[in-house]
Amino acid sequence: MEAAVIGGTGVYDLSPGSRTETVNTRYGAVQVDIVKVGVKEVAFLARHGKSHSVPPHLINYRANMKALKELGVKYIYASAAVGSCNCRFAPGDIVVITDFIDFTKARLATFYDGGEEGVAHVDMSDPYCKNLRKRFYDAANREGLNIKGDAVYVCTEGPRFETAHEIKMYRQLGGDVVGMTSVPEAVLAKELGMCYAAVGIITNWCTGIDSEGVKLHDIKGLMAKTGEKLTRVFVKVLTGDLSQENCSCAGALVKM
């Protein structure tokens, strides 16, 4: 099994014919749904749990990513609900994440804490696999899924929303969308040599962008409109011919 989809808020069902496996890792146990698509299998992981019971700052990111690695996964697409601080991207739009700015504070963000695991650094010049991003754009065009553009993701600790001046700062730093989950998820995937790409579904304007304040739009409605098609595009790419020869993901880790 080489492919996986990580579902964010509102994206939980990959297929009615899936089976569930529990993967035990040194960081904890993780439930993963497996579905067969043609001759291939795709793993599906609900980031917040199937009932959306785990807040972003308490997600066991290391267990999640290690479980996918132990299943043999090399290629991951992730979806995430995000707020927009760029007026070009409105609620309901879909964006492809190209880079991130990390404002998390208290998360376990590496597998390499010294000791038994040793010390390592990971190259983040391409945090979201360029090959998977290109393939997603190509498949989305063929499927008629409208992508509004590329976006820089600002990751905050949560679970609170950001203040208006925080959002002003993020905009000045070049951020386009704000979420609470892409870090350390993208970093851990890179440490494990997996190709990882993320797509954001914009659910609200960030604080201070709209005069009404943060107003969450109908997430379930947005997912009903775009979620099925988005998942279909993910699976189309993941069940095709993939290779790590055209990206640097597999060799991004530098051990000391």
Each of the 256 residues of the chain gets a pLDDT tens digit; together they read: 899 999 854 444 555 567 889 999 999 999 999 988 888 899 999 998 877 789 999 999 999 999 999 999 999 999 988 999 999 999 989 999 999 999 999 999 999 999 888 899 999 999 999 999 999 999 999 999 999 999 999 999 999 999 999 999 999 999 999 999 999 999 999 999 999 999 999 988 999 998 665 666 566 666 667 777 888 899 999 999 999 999 999 999 998 8
- Report d(CA 126, CA 116) in Å as an integer: 28
Q: Is 184 exposed, middle or buried (0-12, 13-18, 19+ CB in 10 A)?
A: buried
Instruction: Extract the tokens encoding 157.
Output: 């600790």
Instruction: Extract the tokens encoding 250.
Output: 């597999």
Contact 199, 79 (CB under 8 A): yes
Report domain 3-255's class: alpha beta
Number of Cβ within 10 Å of residue 217's Cβ equals 14
Domain ranges of the chain: 3-255
pTM for this prediction: 0.93
Q: 44, 197, 78: which is closest to 130 by C-alpha? A: 197
Task: Look at the block and give the residue holding tokens 């964010």.
Answer: 8
Number of Cβ within 10 Å of residue 193's Cβ equals 15
- Report d(CA 135, CA 118) in Å as an integer: 35
Peptide bond into 184 cis (omega under 30): yes
Instruction: Extract the tokens encoding 41.
Output: 């299998």
Beta strands in 47-175 (DSSP E): 75-84, 94-103, 120-122, 149-156
Q: How far apart are the first and last CA of the chain?
A: 30
Q: Is 120 exposed, middle or buried (0-12, 13-18, 19+ CB in 10 A)?
A: middle
